[in-house]
Amino acid sequence: MNKIIISTDQAPSAIGTYNQAVKVGTAVYLSGQIPLVAETMEMISDDFAEQTQQVFKNLAAVCEAAGGELQDMVKVNIFLTDLSNFATVNEIMSQHFKMPYPARAAIGVKELPKGAQVEIDGIMELPSTN
């Protein structure tokens, strides 16, 4: 198995023992992104919608570094500290994805790193290994 590590300075650097993404063949496994601004490694704001937009911006940067785009994601896992924000996630996700949408799970959690309100990870499938 040939693992290719994906890294970009356009998304927050890893803050632990992981990589932003790992590519194996045409599959790219994206680590969870929280609403950190890459340049400062600080939270974008306390506003849930702004946090969610920043998470998608971070995911897009990692997808691009891997040679794809958000639309190439086939599975998305969304972790929320407050499930009442689910409708906002749907609205914002519709701004970043067009049909066919990826498979998705939304999971309520007690806490996320650095006090984030949302974290998203997923799997992207690229058209080729180039």
State the pLDDT at residue 1: 75
Q: pLDDT digits over 57-95, tens only?
A: 999 999 999 999 999 999 999 999 999 999 999 999 999
pLDDT in tens, 88-122: 999 999 999 999 999 999 999 999 999 999 999 99
Angle between helices 48-65 and 86-96 (to 10 degrees): 40
**Spatial separation of the C-alpha atoms in residues 129 and 1, rounded to whole Å:** 13
**DSSP annotation of 65:** H
What are the Cα distances from residue 26, in Å, to 61, 75, 76, 96, 100? Answer: 18, 14, 17, 22, 19
Evaluate whether the domain defined by 3-125 bears CATH number 3.30.1330.40: yes
- Pick the residue with more confidence: 51 or 128? 51
